[in-house]
Chain A
Amino acid sequence: MVEKKSAVYDVVVIGGGVVGCAVLRELSRYDLNLLLLERETDLAEGVSKGNSGVIHAGFNVPAGSLKAKTNVAGLGMIYGLAAELGVPHRKTGKLVVALAGEDRGRLEGLKTEGDKSGVPDLELVDEAAIRRLEPLARGRWALYSPHTGIISPYEFTIALAECATQNDARVLLEAPVEAVGFDGGLFRLSTPKGTFAARFVVNSAGPFADDVARLAGIDDYRIFPYRGEYLISDKDCGLRLGMPVYPVPPRDDPGLGIHITPTLEGNIILGPSAEPVDDKRDVASTRKVIARIKAESGRLMPELARISFIHSYAGIRPKLVDPSGKDRFGDFVVEESGLRPGWISLLGIESPGLTSAPAIARMVAGMIGAKTDLRPKPDFNPTRPLRTRFANLGDNERAERVANDADWGEMICRCEHVTRAEVVAALRNPFGARTMDAVKRRTRCGMGRCQGGFCTPRIVKILQDEGVLVERITKRGGGSRLFFGRLKG
C-alpha cells in the first residue's frame, strides 16, 4: 500500500521495538495524529525479542544515571501496565549470588547503589535464605530483590502497539525510513510505503538509530552492537525455577553476566553473552559461546547439567560504548536535537530498556507537551482486545468455545496446544504481520520441543487459506522465503 495523500502526522515514531511502541501508546492518550514506522515485517523484530525478559528493579546501574531513573520509574509503572494490557507477567523476585565469600562486598556495592536510586526493599541474604527463596540457587551470599519480575518482551511490545492502534495510532510495517527531508517546518520521512510529513519525530530505531539520525543530518552518536547469545530449555526440563538468578556482575563483561531466568511458561533461559560484533543484524549462535553459557550457568546451578535445550537464539544490545574505548558505562540518551528541533532521539536503549520503556515514553510525552498542547482524549482506552489461549482454559470453557467455533477444536501446535482459532486470530492482527515468526510470537506455535516440526505444514495451509501465496510465505519477511512455489506434477 503506497501512501497517496500527504497527511501531516503530529508525531512519527521510527522503530517498533518496546520503546517505540511504549511511546506510541503513551502518546495515543492525547489528541494527536500518530504513525509508527517499522522496517521489519513485524514489531519487536530487533532488540525487543532477544533479551532475558526481566523486569529490572534498578540496582545494576549507577545512581543518578538516566538508566537508573527511568528503570526505577518504569518499575513503578510496568506491572500495572502489563496487567492493564493483559500481558502475562509475574513478580518473581531475583537473586544476585556470590559464590565466594569475598564477593559479599560487591553485593553490598550493588545494594548501596540501588538504595541511592530508590530501588525498594533490597536485602542482603545468607546461604540459608538463598535456599529458601530459590532451592535451585546456591551461593554464600546474595542480594535479594523482591520486586524484580519477568514478562514476555515481544508480547508486551505487541500489546503496547495494539492498544495504541485501538486509540487511532497507525502502524506501518516494512517501512524503513530511507531519507529525511525538511519542508515548511515539517519532517518528511521517505519510506517504500510512501513519504510522511511529521511535526515531531521520535527516533527509537534501536541499533539503527544512529543511521536514521544521520539521514536527518544529526551525527552526534555512534551505536555499537553487542551480541548476546541464549539457550532455552524445554518446559518439562524437570527443574522448576522460581526466579532469575544472576552472578555478581563480572568486571570484564559488558553485560550483567550469564544468568538463569525462568519464562512464564516454565522454560529456563541461559545467557546472554556480551560480545561486540560488526554487523547490527548478526544474531548467529556460536559453538564457543554455547559451551561458555553452559559452563558458567552450570557453576551457578549445577542441576542445569542434566537438562536439554530446545532452542538457541541471540539478541543485539545497542550500546553507546565503543568496545575499543576506555568507557565501560554508557547512559541512555533521551534528547531533542539542537540542530533539528522537534527531532527526539532515544539512543543506546539497551538493558534495562524493557523496564524503562514506560518511563521513557512518559519523558517523551513531556518533551512534546512542552512544545505543543497535549489534549487528553476523553475516550482513551488503556486496554487491548483480550487474547485467549486455549492451553490456559479449563474444561468447560474449552468445550464452550469449541461448541461456538469449531476452529477452537482444531489443534495446530501439539507441544503448546495452540488451536486454529488462535492462529487465524494472530494472522488477522491489526498490523498485517503474516510471517511464520509473527504467528510464533503471538501464539507460541513452534516454541515447543518439536520446534515447528508438527505445526509448520499446518500453518502453511492456514496461511494459504488466509490468502497468502505459497511462494510469499516467509519466516520473518525479506528474503526469508520458506518455499519456491509449487512442484510440477
Chain B
Amino acid sequence: MIDTLETHDVVVIGGGPAGLAAALGARRAGAGKVLLVERDRTLGGILNQCVHDGFGLFLYKETISGPEYSERLVEDVVREPIKVETGAMVLDLTPDRVLRINSRSGYRLVRAGAVVLAMGCRERTREMIEIPGTRPAGVFTAGSAQNLVNLQNIRIGNAAVILGSGDIGLIMARRLTFEGVAVKGVFEIMPWASGLERNVRQCLLDFGIPLELRSTVVEIRGRDRVESVVVAKVDGKLMPIPGTESVVPCDTLLLSVGLIPENELSKRAGVALSSLTGGAVVDENCMTSVPGVFSCGNVLHIHDVADWASFEGFAAGESAARYAAGERPAGGTVRIFAGPNVKYALPQLLTAGTAGTEWSFRVARPLRNVQVVVKGKATDKVYARKKFGRLLPSELQKIKVRPAVAEDLEVSCHE
C-alpha cells in the first residue's frame, strides 16, 4: 500500500512561532516544495493558548497577544505556496530524512531534502521533581491548565497553589485570579524567579499574589482531589529544611517547574543533543549533527519570548532551503564552550573562518554590572566583549562576534 514516497524540498515539523517562520524562511531562500506539518488542528502552536499580551515587540515592534502574533505569521504562510497540514503528527524521522506522518487524511511516508525541527517543548511534571504524597486529581502542569482554561473554557479548581515561577505559571496565576480562583501563592525553590521580571510584576505583585522564594512543595495531600499541599523552605542545596513546613489548603496544584525541548524525533534521527540546553548541538546555520536536519525554537533551547524563536526559525528555514538546493556547508568544527557564570551559549559549533555571527546565551544566576567576554580557548584572544547592567537567568541574551574565528571559544561573564 505504501510504496511511493512523496518528496518535498523542505519539511518543517511544528507550526508554532519557530516552525511558521522556518517555512517562510525556506520559501525566501528559494525552496520550491515546502511542507509544514502541525499536529494540532490549527497552526500557531502554544501561541493559541497564550491569550495574554506581550508578544511581537521585536518582530512586529508592538505588543500583541499570542493568537494575534500567530495570525500574522499564518497570514504570511498562506500567501506562499507552502503545503500546510494540520492535525498531522510526525511519528518517525530517519537519519536519511524519511518521515512517517499520521493524520485523519492518511498515514504516509515522506522524503525531505532538508528537515527543520520545530517541535517546541513540553513541561516538566510532578514526577520529574519527585513530589511525594498522594496522587489525587487536581495536579496540572501550568500549560495543560492554560489549554483547559483558555481553549476549553473549563474551571479547573477553586483554590490553587502554583509551584515554580516559570512564565506560564505566572501568567496562569493572573488568569486564574481573573476567573475567581483563589491563588494562594507561587512557590519557587531558587532564590530568584525563573520567569520574566515583567511577568512577576504584572501577574503577581499587581494582584497581591505572594511569591515565596527558596520554598517548595514537599507533599501533596488528599485522596481523591487535592486537599492541601505542604510547603517548606529549602537550604542552599535546595533540600527542605525540617521544621519549616506549613500546610496550604487548596484543591489545585499547578506546576511551572521548567520546560524540556521535545527531542523524541530528533533522537530517532540520531541528532546529538546538548546536556546544557536539552536541544540539538547546532552550528551557525542551525544544522544539527545529522546533515540536512536543522533545529530552531524551543526544541533547540527554551526561549524567553516567541520573537527569538521566530528569528531562529527564519534562519533555520533559509539554511534548510540552501541545503535542499544542494549547498553543502563545511560544517562546524570550532567549538564554543560555556564559561564561568554562563549556563549555555548557542550555537555550540561554528564553521572555521566564519565572521559576524550572533550568539544567544543565558547566565546561570542573576548578575549585576557584568561584562560578557568571548575568548579564544587557545590564544586568550578576545573576540567580543559586551557590558550589561543586569543579567537574569530568565532572559536570553545576544552577543555579536565580528571577527573570523578559527579556534575554540569560551563565553564567560564577569562581575
Residues on A close to B: CB < 8 A?
A: 236, 281, 283-287, 290, 308-313, 395-396, 398-403, 406-411, 414-415, 417, 419, 436, 450-454, 456-457, 460-461, 470, 474-476, 478-487, 489
Q: Are B132 and A286 in contact (CB under 8 A)?
A: yes
- CB proximity of A237 to chain B, nearest CB, Å: 13
A406 and B41 alpha carbons, distance in the complex (Å): 14
Residues of chain B lying within 8 A (CB to CB) of residue A410: 87, 103-104
Q: What residues of A have a CB within 8 angstroms of the CB of B91 in the complex?
A: 411, 417
Any A CB within 8 A of the CB of B154: yes
Whether B2 lies near A308 (C-beta < 8 A) is no
How close is A267's CB to chain B, nearest CB, in angstroms? 12
User: Would you call A312 and B127 a contact (CB within 8 A)?
Assistant: yes
Q: Mark B123-142, 1 if CB is under 8 A from A, else 0.
A: 10111101011111110110
A484 to B107, CA, bound (A): 38
The stretch among B64-72, B143-151, B306-314, B352-360 that forms the contact with chain A is B143-151
Determine which of A287, A310, A470, A486 lies in contact with B127 in the assembled complex, contact meaning CB atoms within 8 Å: A310
Closest residue of chain B to A485 (Cβ to Cβ) is: B155
Assess the A411–B89 pair: CB atoms within 8 A.
Answer: yes
Chain B residues whose CB sits within 8 angstroms of the CB of A485 once the complex forms: 154-155
A398 to B92: give the CA distance in the assembly, Å. Answer: 13
B157 touches A484 (CB 8 A): yes
Q: How far is the CA of A451 from the CA of B9 in the complex (A)?
A: 35
Say yes or no: B144 contacts A456, CB within 8 Å. Answer: yes
Q: Give the distance in Å from the alpha carbon of A399 to the alpha carbon of B125 in the complex.
A: 33
Residue of B nearest to A390 (CB): B102
- Shortest distance from the beta carbon of B29 to any chain A beta carbon, whole Å: 30
Known: A312-B132, A475-B136, A486-B155. 5 other contacts (CB 8 A): A285-B133, A285-B135, A400-B1, A457-B148, A481-B225
**Which residues of chain B in 222-242 are interfacial with respect to chain A, using CB atoms and an 8 Å cutoff?**
223-225
Q: How far is the CA of A408 from the CA of B135 in the complex (A)?
A: 31
Judge if B153 is at the interface, Cβ distance under 8 Å. yes
Residue of B with least CB distance to A419: B102
B85: min CB distance to chain A, Å = 11
Residue of A nearest to B227 (CB): A479
Residue of chain A at shortest CB distance from B143: A453
Could you say which of B39, B100, B123, B130 contacts A312, with CB atoms under 8 Å apart? B130
- Interface size, chain B (Cβ < 8 Å): 52
Q: Is the CB of B102 within 8 A of A480?
A: no
**B122 adjacent to chain A (CB < 8 Å):** yes
Q: Which residues does chain B contribute within 8 Å of A483, judged by CB atoms?
A: 148, 154-156
The residue on A at minimum CB distance from B130 is: A290
B326 within 8 A of A: no
Contacts of A395 in B (CB 8 A): 2, 100, 107, 109
B154 in contact with A460 (CB, 8 Å): yes
- A283 to B136 Cα, complex, angstroms: 10
The answer to whether A474 touches B137 (Cβ under 8 A) is: yes
Contacts of B148 in A (CB 8 A): 456-457, 460, 483
Instruction: Evaluate contact between A454 and B152: CB separation under 8 angstroms.
Output: no
| Chain B residues near A487 (CB-CB < 8 A) | 149, 153-155, 179
Q: Which residue of B lies closest to A395 (CB)?
A: B2
Q: What chain B residues lie within 8 Å of A281 (beta carbons)?
A: 223
Specify which of A308, A415, A454, A484 is in contact with B156 (CB 8 Å cutoff): A484
Instruction: Find out whether the CB atom of B106 lies under 8 angstroms from the CB atom of A403.
Output: yes
Report if B184 contacts A (CB, 8 A): no
Contacting residues of chain B (215-265) with chain A, CB-CB under 8 angstroms: 218-219, 223-225, 264
Contact yes or no, B144 A457, CB < 8 A: yes
B148 to chain A, nearest CB (A): 6
A480 to B134, CA, bound (A): 12
Cβ of B8 within 8 Å of any chain A Cβ, yes or no, is: no
Most-contacted residue by chain A among B87, B109, B135 (CB, 10 A): B135
Q: Are B152 and A451 in contact (CB under 8 A)?
A: no
Interface string of B328-352 (1 = CB under 8 A from A): 0000000000000000000000000
Residues in B with CB closer than 8 Å to A400 are 1
Residues of B within 8 A of A452 (CB): 144
Contact of A453 among B87, B106, B122 (CB under 8 A): B122
Determine the chain B residues whose CB is within 8 A of the CB of A402 once the complex forms.
102-104, 106-107
B102 and A411 within 8 A (CB): yes
Q: Do A451 and B127 touch (CB < 8 A)? A: yes
B284 to chain A, nearest CB (A): 30
CA distance A452 to B155 in the complex (A): 18
Flag if B102 contacts A478 (CB, 8 Å). Answer: no
Task: Tell me how far the C-beta of A41 lies from the nearest C-beta in chain B, rounded to whole angstroms.
Answer: 11
Given A402-B102, A450-B123, are A414 and B89 neighbors across the interface (CB < 8 Å)?
yes
Q: How far is the CB of B353 from chain A (nearest CB, A)?
A: 37
Which residue of chain A is the closest to B154 with respect to CB atoms?
A: A483
Cβ of A417: which chain B residues have Cβ within 8 Å of it? 91
B107, A409: Cβ atoms closer than 8 Å? yes
Among residues 260 to 284 in chain B, which have CB atoms less than 8 Å away from a CB atom of chain A? 264, 267
Is B105 on the interface with A (CB-CB < 8 A)? yes
B106 touches A409 (CB 8 A): yes
Knowing A453-B144, A478-B224 are in contact, say whether A396-B1 is a contact too (CB < 8 A): yes
Q: What are the residues of chain B within 8 A of A287 when measuring CB–CB? A: 130, 132, 218-219
* Complex A-B: 8 CB contacts under 8 Å: A290-B130, A310-B128, A409-B87, A450-B123, A456-B140, A460-B148, A481-B225, A489-B153
- Say whether, besides A479-B225, A487-B153, A283 and B134 are in contact (CB < 8 Å): yes
Asked if A450 contacts B125 (CB within 8 A), the reply is yes
State the CA gap A287–B220 with chains docked (Å): 11
Q: State the CA gap A450–B125 with chains docked (Å).
A: 7
Whether the Cβ atoms of A414 and B39 lie closer than 8 Å is yes
Q: Is the CB of B104 within 8 A of A309?
A: no
**Closest CB in chain A relative to B320 CB, distance in Å:** 23
Across-interface contacts of A415 in B (CB, < 8 A): 264
Residues of A within 8 A of B39 (CB): 411, 414
- When the two chains form their complex, are residues A308 and B267 in contact, meaning their CB atoms are under 8 A apart? no
Distance, CA A56 to CA B12, complexed state (A): 49
Contact flag A451-B126 (CB < 8 Å), given A411-B89, A478-B224: yes
List 4 tightest A-B contacts by C-beta distance, closest first: A479-B224, A406-B104, A475-B137, A480-B224
Residue of A nearest to B148 (CB): A457
A310 touches B125 (CB 8 A): yes
How many angstroms from the CA of A414 to the CA of B264 in the assembled complex? 10
- The closest CB in chain A to the CB of B147 belongs to A457
Instruction: Kindly list chain A residues whose C-beta atoms are within 8 Å of the C-beta of B152.
Output: 457, 460-461
Q: Which residue of A lies closest to B149 (CB)?
A: A487
Please measure, in the bound complex, the distance between the C-alpha atom of A318 and the C-alpha atom of B2, giving whole angstroms. 52
- With most chain A CB atoms within 10 A of its CB, the pick from B109, B219, B225 is B225
